[in-house]
Structure 1
Amino acid sequence: MRELSIFIDESGDAAFRSDFYLVTLVFHRQDEPIQPNIAQYECTLTKELLDTIPFHFNPLLNGQDDYKWKDIRSRKRQLHAFRIFAEHLPIAYAAFVFEKRSRVTNTAQLTRAIEADVKGLLRSKQAYLQDFDQVKIYYDDGQSIVTKALHLAIEGAISSQAAVYKDASPKLYRLAQVADYLCGIELTAAKYERHLETRTDVEFFGSIRNFKKNYLKKIRRKRLN
């Protein structure tokens, strides 16, 4: 049986307390093994005396949650290790950036925009999706309006019999962590492009030129064609 996994993550809040809202989809053909990549990544963490905890982009940059007691040098090394891991995975991804107060100005518009964009992508990839016997959607049901929009988009573009929804806690799946990483990178790109980068962004990534060279261009080679 040919199976495709789609891991979904989001960044931002639906209550319009942030400038952007992002939705990222990570596509993985299950006949392409990723366990060797995971094993190599975890081996690197052990050798470098880094934590094997689930990767979480924003807390890592801001020194929160599991990274609260880690200095910035350790967090930069943790980010670098995950970057190398993500860049070598056999995946593809698509990211949608919604700038608030421009394209979307309220939660209803945001819901419709997410549904329309995700549905449009999936419909444009119908030939690709129909090559699989089963499509498994992994999402942690984060914010209710996003959950609703994603279900409407997926069920409108993929046969409900072919789609299987599964809980995608980042604690359980490295690919869910990759979706989180990609959300973080694409959000950082949006901020740099609009000159909204923070002191933390600059501390971790440097100038926009360095960010594009060392992070953005490399991972965007994985974008779904």
Structure 2
Amino acid sequence: MKKLNIFVDESGDLGEYDHRAPYYIISLVLHDQNYDMNRELAILEESLANIGWSKHCVHAGPVIRSEEEYKGYSLKDRQGILKRMMSFVRHLDVRFKSIMIEKKHVNDSVEATGKLSKQLAAFIRENMNFFYSYDVVKVYYDNGQVEVTRILSSVFNALLENVEFRKVTPAQYRLFQVADLICTLKLVELKAETHTLSKSEKFFFGDERTLKKNYLKPLRNKEM
């Protein structure tokens, strides 16, 4: 039996427009369950343990901004965490898709939900043969935002007959943390294009050339 796992995370919220958080992004990481990623996982776990973050659930945004559990750690220490996550992603046989809106162009959460739902539906329709090649499609989300839960449930159930939903916590699956990483980097990419990177983002990535070479370009190779 062929099974497709989809790990979903979001960046932002669907509240009122805020120039400090102008975008809303949903990222989906797609993993064929028959693909054994134990070797890549073992390498990641060992590499994180070597720098003092054994069995740690990585949160990309706070790593970049030096917030929460990463507060007080040096730039080199924090860059080391994301470099290891990026190496993990590079070696994985997975694909991803991000959908997004710029919040200043929507009036309220109802319109935002509709736009995101249409994008997700279009993605599934464009890849219908791919999705129908699987006996089961499992969607993993932490139910962090009720609007996202509704989008996932309504769109997937409307277009596919073989969908199951699983509520997860970020610490349970590295691929969920990869979805978080992709959301974060997609946001950084959008801000770089509009020259609105924050001071902490500029400090972390150094310059746009480094950002593109070490983070954005490797991601594009995985995008559906």
TM-score range, shorter chain: over 0.9
Sequence identity (%): 30
Q: Following the alignment from structure 2 to structure 1, what is the Cα–Cα distance between the partners of residues 151 and 4?
A: 21
Q: Which of residues 72, 77, 82 in structure 2 aligns to 1:74?
A: 77
Judge conservation of contact 1:50–1:74 (CA < 8 Å) in 2: no
1:87 matched to 2:95: no
Counterpart of 2:196 in structure 1 is 196
1:171 is paired with a residue of what secondary structure? helix
CA contact (8 A) 2:100 2:116 kept: no
Q: Determine the C-alpha separation between the residues in 1 that align with 2:149 and 2:215.
A: 29
Question: How far apart are the structure 2 equivalents of 1:84 and 1:179?
Answer: 15
Q: 1:114, 1:168 → 2: CA distance?
A: 22
Q: Which amino acid aligns with 1:216?
A: L
Q: How far 1:73 moved relative to its partner?
A: 2.1
Gaps of 5+ in 1: none
Is 2:158 the partner of 1:151?
A: no
Return the offset for 1:29: 0.2
Matches within 5 A, 1:50-129: 50-102=53-105, 104-129=106-131
Structure 2 equivalent of residue 133 of structure 1: 135
Which SS does the other structure have where 1:39 is aligned? helix
Aligned residues: 221
Deviation at 1:51, TM superposition (A): 4.3
TM-score, structure 1 length as denominator?
0.94
Q: SS state of the match for residue 221, structure 2?
A: helix
Do 1:27 and 1:93's aligned partners in 2 also have CA atoms closer than 8 Å? Answer: yes
TM-score between both structures, scaled by the size of structure 2:
0.94
Letter in 1 for 2:22: D
**What is the SS of the residue equivalent to 2:143?**
coil
Q: For residues 152-179 of structure 1, what are the alpha-carbon distances to aligned partners after superposition, in whole Å with 9 as ceiling and x for unaligned?
A: 11112211xx111001211100000000
Q: Distance in 2 between matches of 1:4 and 1:118?
A: 16
RMSD (Å) for aligned C-alpha atoms: 1.3
3-state DSSP of counterpart to 2:99? strand
Paired with 1:195 and 1:68, the residues of 2 have a C-alpha distance of 26
SS at match of 1:70: coil
